[in-house]
Copies of this chain bind each other. A is one copy, B any other.
Amino acid sequence: MIQISDPSDPRLAPYAAMRERDLVGRAGRFIVEGEVTLRLMLSPRARFRTESILLLPERVAGLAAAIEACPDRPPVYVTDRAVMSAVAGFPIHRGVLAVGIRGDDAGAEVLVPQAAAPALVVGLAGLTNHDNVGGLFRNAAAFGADAVLLDAGTCDPLYRKAIRVSAGAALTVPFARLDPGVDWFATAAALGLEPLALSPSGAEDVADLAPPSRALLILGTEGPGLPASVLARMRGLRIAMAPGFDSLNVATAGAIALHRLACGLRTARDNEHPLP
């Protein structure tokens, strides 16, 4: 527990100019804000190490036990509201910040369960909206997805707003960044997954899908959707909608498809590990 009263203290440098630096990246670090997200970050479920924590004095007591239990043993800096907001560059109402370390990208081949086991993997293609990416991580966690694969055009799940919208799932669901110009079909083949593209022009209704036990569900942007070259080469799933209205939010559409696929996965896992 370290009291800091100088906004230019170098130990606070990772918290400086939060908004601007979120946009340009921050050298292998990311910012976590708010109590619920920090508790998740400190728990064994988080995939990332906590480098330091910055709290207002009145938030220390409530978080002490969670910090104490975290094996990372991050230093806890305590400062007043004026200093915290001066460092961050805008008012930090909740008074709870932390810096996480990204670590190395594990690689899709490490994150995806091996070819004999059931698997549910989500692929995000060109999703540039942090709300949608955060929402999809939340839905991926809710339906037990094993991993999320991001193409080069998809935005960062560890951006503050994406973490918040994900309800912390961006800290827990494994993800890997794919190389620019990824060939989704080849990626799925290399990982032993059946690629399924969710698209309004998909040939199969997701409600009638017999879910494969190893699926890669690929989601594109709401506007242009997935490139035709991707759609042409794999099974396309559509969600039947009312006439004249064919616009679901991409995270919502993803949730409907993941819900269906997760039913199939549960069946596959039950068969793999039958109850005694």
Chain A interface residues (CB < 8 Å from chain B): 45, 135, 138-139, 141-144, 167, 169, 207, 239-249, 251-252, 255-256, 259-260, 262-263, 266
Contact = CB atoms under 8 A, between A and B. Distances in A.
A245 B207 contact: no
B142 A259 contact: no
Given A255-B256, A256-B255, A142 B248 contact: yes
A242 B207 contact: no
Chain B CB within 10 Å — which of A246, A251, A252, A262 has the most? A252
Given A142-B248, A144-B243, A252-B252, 7 more contacts: A45-B244, A138-B247, A142-B242, A167-B247, A207-B260, A240-B262, A251-B252
A142 B252 CA distance: 11
A259 B247 contact: no
A-B residue pairs, 7 tightest by C-beta:
A144-B242, A252-B255, A142-B241, A141-B245, A142-B248, A256-B259, A207-B263
A146 B255 CA distance: 23
B249 A138 contact: yes
Contact of A143 (B45, B142, B169, B242): B242
Nearest to A145: B242
14 contacts: A138-B247, A138-B248, A138-B249, A139-B248, A139-B252, A142-B241, A142-B245, A142-B247, A142-B248, A143-B242, A144-B243, A207-B260, A240-B263, A242-B262
Given A135-B249, A138-B247, A251-B252, A207 B143 contact: no
Contacts of A242: 141-144, 262
A81 to B, nearest CB: 25
A189 B184 CA distance: 51
A239 B259 contact: yes
A251 to B, nearest CB: 7
A36 to B, nearest CB: 10
A207 to B, nearest CB: 5
A255 B143 CA distance: 15
Nearest to A141: B245
A249 B132 CA distance: 12
A166 to B, nearest CB: 10
Chain B CB within 10 Å — which of A45, A138, A144, A249 has the most? A249
Contacts of A256: 255-256, 259
Nearest to A265: B242
A248 B166 CA distance: 10
A262 B142 CA distance: 22
Given A207-B263, A263-B207, A248 B255 contact: yes
